[in-house]
Structure 1
Amino acid sequence: MILAAKRPIILIGAGGNRPQLVEPLSAFVRRVRLPFFNTQMGKGAVHGGSNLYLGTAALSERDYVHAAVDKADLIISIGHDTVEKPPFLMRSAGGPRVLHVGYFSATVEQVYHPDAELVGDIGASVTLLADRMGGKLDPDPTILKLRKQILERIAERADEDRFPIAPQRIVRDVRAVMPDDGIVCLDNGMYKIWFARNFRTYTANTLLLDNALATMGAGLPSAMMAAMLFPERRVMAVCGDGGFMMNSQEIETAVRLGLNLVVVILNDSAYGMIRWKQAVDNFPDFGMTFNNPDFVKYAEAYGADGTRITSTDELGPVLEAAFQKGGVHIIDVPIDYSENTRVLVEELRNKSIDSEVVA
């Protein structure tokens, strides 16, 4: 199937994102020379700096990376499980064929029904596949052209100085202060899509997110556990204001345990993801806004340090200073979520990648 395909690409899901698989999967991509993309929970399985990286499927369909999916005639799906939000929709005719590679047989559903399966230890399977195919494949030029445009589109507006801060700029500044082994733990909200799409990972399990139950309130306790397990590494929780307030009392625990932890609160005084979903479905903007406490005073009440960002240029230096000082820091960051509508609603309705490339 792989040798017969003209435009094969690789998809890596959560099942492929295990520490023991990083080396065999990275070697597989390097040896077969095929472009790859990943699900949100598959980030970090292969070095994000690879020149074959197409991006992350942050949405189920009509995301930037789907321009490459639409051109592919075969998808080698490694470690994908439909408990994750499916990164593309299967089509009865005209769509790519799918080869499922996993520890377990595929869960066949309307959204996922592979043409063939390779069931067994993923590391051994991809190593043997690479032995059969190494040197026999070349990446399709059309897919590589799409890759360049996908990554350029993702990088748009990352340098903007507007305030409140654009999500692309927040991701850029967080990436700049985190070393390759630094751990970012996401709560659940719109920022999860922006981080999944824009945050490049270079080490496995350094961008922790959940995309199945997607429980709000998970970011802070996840980061606390990461800080306890890896006290020598930089650890950051990125939470929306709604998600943070669901478990914010655990700041007392973090201070009492003497953790080194930076908590970034992306403040839009709303349940931003549900507002976005309302807009996508053309519903009225209703019932999603609320008032917040003074997060600086709130942090200080627990014995943590609190900072409110008042200009875009402050964010990077404030994050760096917090890590340098150590202890628990709460950083209140106003976020401009108008990009959610521009990029994730209007552009998706009007095709996100230029038609001459997709055609």
Structure 2
Amino acid sequence: MKASDLFVKALENEGVEYIFGIPGEENLDLLESLRESNIKLILTRHEQAAGFMAATYGRLTGKVGVCLATLGPGATNFATSAAYAQLGGMPMLMITGQKPIKKSKQGRFQIIDIVNMMKPMTKYSKQVVNGNNIPSMVREAFKIATTERPGAALIELPEDIAAEECDFNIYPVQSFKYPKADQEAILEAVKMIEKAKRPLLLVGAGANRTRIGNALTNFVNESGIPFFSTQMGKGVIDENHKLCLSTAALSKDDFIHCAIDRADLIINVGHDVIEKPPFFMENDENAKKVIHVNFFPSEVDDTYFPQLDVVGDIASNVDNLRRAISTQEHWEFDYYKRMTEEIKTHLQKYFGDTRFPILPQKAVRTIRTLLDDEDIVTLDNGVYKIWFARNYRCAKPNTLLLDNALATMGAGLPSGMAAKMVNPDKKVVSVCGDGGFMMNSQELETSVRLGLDLTVIILNDNAYGMIKWKQTGMGFDTYGLDLGNPDFVKYAESYGASGHRPTSCEEFEETLEKCVNGKGVHVIDLAVDYSLNHSILNELLAKKECLI
């Protein structure tokens, strides 16, 4: 069997449905092998977008998303996607080509050491030097990419190796089960929780796995301990739950931090230091204590140094904690209940504001109102991400896909495309800033070509708004961050999509309702007003009584 055929058979054995990417001449044997397989090639307009789509496929399914590029410049375009998957805990495999390694007639033309370049950004990065090694390498890459913490892998397939003859030998896919925590760790955690006066549960990105959501919901219901989430932990437990405080959209000085600061123990489930901190620990014997509940031990840094690690299968460990804990009469949750109402009042303050350009809070509210609990919103990266994290209540996991790990621009549209492919029966809305949208806007053509029903909202302020906000907040004069955008309506139409430009909040709501319930790709150019960012986020400073 030809090595490229064997490679495709190994991918089929892993259940691969799609390969996202752009082939080059070094991939032609593999491309021919794919042509006769049941794997569908999704041709994109940029390798970075292909990587974002593969990573999002992995995030949503728990299976490895696969993407393809040629050597050199095609492979280097995967760098940001690799970091996106690696930091975000998304299982992904990159397949890249290379010039012949046994004999070359082109010197060093286009040759970059991609394998070593990718090692710091992946869990696995290797070159195939013998076609007979392909089955074991593919199995190993898939296993490593999916085990906790999930992440990126790379296999480089040189042109001459892809064409050589080799033996057929496919390895069976074996499931992997994580061990449970030691009973002593469970009992020590129970002792700390029962001794605490104001325990609080934190739900992080690593808790967004099969079974864990149910285990955590049962834990909250039976213990009565209130909870909050990190940005990437939203929806693991229904955020409409009466014991849900909110999301830690900032690291400090937000209303939710009034409650976090009052806690004397945080039960931290599924969070690690890769995601932006939801709060800062203090190295003081009187400061709050933290129990780290995760698949792997905690990593210590200046913001995070837990007093206890409960390591192993999270769902099983949470269930064991739930069974062992007894509710305590000395637990004090009244303050959390008051803060829950305070936070809700604060977050709803601008929901009814009809000024235009639209406030981000009003935009979030409109989108939330028009989508069902199962529908999906994907975000690019910008200041609006804070408002979605704070204001968009998620009833289900993976219904608000934001990136709080690499926090890269350019991923919003590709992740929306992948979300729609994985969930064709759900409405999908991709929200991008004008800066981030233009970084992969060419994928509108891919969306149209694939026949996706997708709505893209561009929050347009003609600037790199997040950095401008930081710039003014730090006392600098505004400089170097204003943009000149194309006519987004005509731009969308040039790709065969439908373009819209509402001129009022009412018109935006009417337009969005038609788009999400219609067919095809729709682009909404929505003028946004970020001028109140500082005053809204500083409202806490004027309400110090909440700390009493």
Tell me if both proteins adopt one fold, taking TM over 0.5 as the criterion.
Answer: yes
TM range, smaller chain: over 0.9
> 1:52 pairs with 243, 253, 260, which one?
243
**Percent of pairs identical after alignment?**
50
Pair 1:20–1:355, CA change in 2 (3 A): same
Question: Does structure 2 retain, via aligned residues, the 8 Å contact 1:37–1:54?
Answer: yes
Unaligned 5+ runs, structure 1: none
Indicate conservation of the 8 Å contact 2:194/2:327, yes or no: no
Offset at 1:279?
2.0
Q: Which runs of no fewer than 5 residues in structure 2 stay unpaired?
A: 1-191
**What CA deviation, in whole Å up to 9, does each residue of 1:255-313 have, x standing for no partner?**
00000000000000011100111122212211111111111101110000000010111
- Letter aligned with residue 318 of structure 2: V
User: Which of 469, 487, 496 in structure 2 is aligned with 1:294?
Assistant: 487
Q: How far does residue 157 in structure 1 lie from its aligned partner after superposition?
A: 0.8
1:167, 1:339 within 8 Å by CA — same for their partners in 2?
Answer: no
Q: Tell me if structure 1 keeps the 8 A contact 2:194–2:326.
A: no
Cα distance in 2 between the residues matched to 1:347 and 1:239: 26
Is the Cα contact below 8 Å between 1:260 and 1:326 reproduced in 2? yes
- CA drift at 1:356: 2.5
- The DSSP-based 3-state class of the residue aligned with 2:477 is coil
Q: Which residue of 2 aligns with 1:104?
A: 296
Cα pair 1:84 1:211 within 8 Å, conserved: yes
Quote the Cα distance in structure 2 between the aligned partners of 1:234 and 1:134.
42
Is 1:168 matched with 2:361?
Answer: yes
Query: Equivalents in 2 of 1:135, 1:326: separation in Å?
Result: 51
The alpha-carbon deviation at position 342 of structure 1 amounts to 1.3
- Give CA deviations for 1:230-261 in whole Å, capped at 9, x if unaligned: 11100010000000000000000000000000
Q: Aligned pair 1:113/2:310, yes or no?
A: no
Match of 1:234 among 417, 423, 427: 427
Query: How many correspondences in the alignment?
Result: 355
Greater relative CO, 1 or 2 (CA 8 Å, sep 6+): 1
Secondary structure in 1 aligned to 2:255? coil
Q: CA deviation at 1:115?
A: 0.9
1:342 aligns with 2:535: yes
Deviation at 1:25, TM superposition (A): 1.2
CA contact (8 A) 1:31 1:134 kept: no
* Partner AA of 1:51 in structure 2: K
Once the two structures are overlaid, the 10-residue window that deviates more, 259-268 or 136-145, is: 136-145
CA RMSD of aligned residues (A): 1.2
User: Within 5 A, what are the aligned runs for 1:1-359?
Assistant: 1-93=192-284, 94-136=286-328, 140-344=333-537, 346-347=538-539, 350=541, 354-359=543-548
TM-score, normalisation: structure 2: 0.64
Greater mean alpha carbon deviation, residues 166-175 or residues 85-94: 85-94
Larger Rg computed on CA atoms: 2
How far apart, in 1, do the equivalents of 2:521 and 2:291 lie?
A: 46
Kept in 2, the 8 Å contact 1:164–1:336? The answer is: yes
1:139 is displaced (CA, Å) by 5.5
Q: Output the CA distance in 2 between the equivalents of 1:279 and 1:63.
A: 19
Letter in 1 for 2:469: W
Structure 1 window deviating more from structure 2 (47-56 vs 127-136): it is 127-136
Shift of 1:135: 4.2
1:347 to partner: Cα distance: 3.1
Whole-angstrom CA distance in 1 between matches of 2:246 and 2:210: 20
Per-residue deviation at 1:134? 4.8
Q: 1:186 to 1:139 in 2, by over 3 A?
A: farther
Moved more, 278-287 or 289-298: 278-287
Which amino acid in structure 2 is aligned with residue 76 of structure 1?
I
Deviates more, 1:127-136 or 1:60-69: 127-136
Distance 2:519 2:239 in 1: 28
Q: Secondary structure at the match of 2:211?
A: helix
Structure 2 distance, partners of 1:316, 1:134, is 48
Describe the SS at the equivalent of 2:515: helix
Rounded to whole Å, the distance in 1 between the matches of 2:345 and 2:535 is 16
Output the TM-score relative to the length of structure 1: 0.96
Residue pair 1:32, 1:136 contacting (<8 A) in 2 also: no
Query: What corresponds to 2:11 in structure 1?
Result: none
Mapped to 2, the partners of 1:33 and 1:49 lie a distance apart of 15
Q: Distance in 2 between matches of 1:236 and 1:72?
A: 36
The alignment partner of 1:286 has SS state of coil
Asked if 2 retains the 8 angstrom alpha-carbon contact of 1:10 and 1:76, the reply is yes
Runs of 4+ in 1 over 3 A off after TM superposition: 134-139
Q: Residues 220 and 237 of structure 1 are in contact (CA less than 8 Å); yes or no, is this contact kept in structure 2?
A: yes
Instruction: Name the SS of the counterpart of 2:195 in structure 1.
Output: coil
